[in-house]
Amino acid sequence: MLPDRRTIPFWLKASFTLFVAVLVPVWWLEYGPANFLWACDIALFVTLIALWRESRLLASMMAVAVLVPELLWNLDFFARLFAGRDLIGLDATGYMFDVATPRWRRGLSLFHVFLPLLLLWLVAQLGYHVRAWLATTALCWIVLPLSYLFTDPARNTNWVFGLGGAPQTWLPGPVYVAVLMLALPLGVYLPTHLVLKWLFGKV
């Protein structure tokens, strides 16, 4: 019989719920509902459900989906903060240093710092679900076409119009999205899946 690993404290569930409840109306008014197609925002919502349901599949999926992008975000953010340079060359965190944006609003984006740590802790507590890579890939194949069809190209949600701020011109748009739909599962999700499986094993 498997041990009971449901050990997520109530204070953590309540605190995370409160944070999401504050963030959602702010983001909705500032950026519109389409902004919630960003993978990091989806990860917030799914992680909220994972916390309350103590679901290792949902926690594992979000770890597979966002650990690498969030690591890059943090590397770029802290490089800008301490060295004043764009480390990854994609202007991923420039908005965090835009003085025209109120500090409290930029402060909400600091979830990028604690979300990967929370997801790693959740997977350590609940165990890693070996089907997370396939489930995350299926979710990716839904979210990327929706991002391409229903979001503003200027916002470049999930980078479906090009890497970083500049739009790509070397492939037709739908072909580029198809390439991205293969590149993320194979180049990002699969390596993350293998590392998490090795670290936390199968429950």
CA terminus-to-terminus distance, the chain: 11
pTM higher than 0.75: yes
- Neighbouring CB atoms inside 10 A of 60's CB total 30
pLDDT at 100: 83
- Name the pLDDT band for 23 (thresholds 50, 70, 90): very high
pLDDT in tens, 127-136: 999 999 999 9
- Name the pLDDT band for 3 (thresholds 50, 70, 90): very low
pLDDT at 95: 85
pLDDT in tens, 29-47: 988 999 999 999 999 999 9
In this predicted structure, the answer to whether residue 101 has a pLDDT above a threshold of 90 is no
pLDDT at 2: 41
Fill in the amino acid letter for 59.
A
DSSP state of 97: G
Of 51-55, 80-84, 128-132, 172-176, which range is least confident? Answer: 80-84
- Name the pLDDT band for 94 (thresholds 50, 70, 90): confident
Average pLDDT over residues 167-186: 93
User: What share of the chain in percent tops pLDDT 70?
Assistant: 94
Token pair for residue 76?
């770029």
pLDDT at 166: 75
Task: Compute the mean pLDDT over every residue in the chain, rounded to the nearest whole number.
Answer: 91
Alpha-carbon Rg for the chain, nearest whole angstrom, is 17
